[in-house]
Amino acid sequence: MQQEKADHKKTHDDLSTQLEIEKTKRAREVLEATNKLASLQQHYKLLQVTSYPERPPTDFCMGVGPILTLKMWFAVACIL
């Protein structure tokens, strides 16, 4: 009975430690993702207000010019 209690306590301690490690990892991943999203949103806002009159749009961009929407991120390469 004593051995079972000792095993149970050790298992509980091991799992508690692993849980804390996983929580820390997830918190770091969430922070990194939040920072990346904020950076992308800032970049997107800058692209919305920036115009490039010296560079006409290519055929691939279909005359869109510097105005970007979320569905047109694929065309950023031909605008820049």
How would you write 15-28 as a 3-class SS string?
Answer: HHHHHHHHHHHHHH
- Give the contacts of 65 (CB within 8 A, at least 6 positions apart): 51, 52, 57, 79
How many domains are there within the chain? 1
Other Cβ atoms closer than 10 A to 64: 15
Give the model's pLDDT for residue 67. 52
State the pLDDT at residue 50: 73
Print the domain residue range for 33.
2-79
Mean pLDDT per 10-residue interval, the chain, length 80 residues: 92 96 96 94 85 54 52 53
Place of tokens 């970049």: 43
Give residues with Cβ within 8 angstroms of 57, minimum separation 6: 63, 64, 65, 78, 79
**pLDDT score for 69:** 55
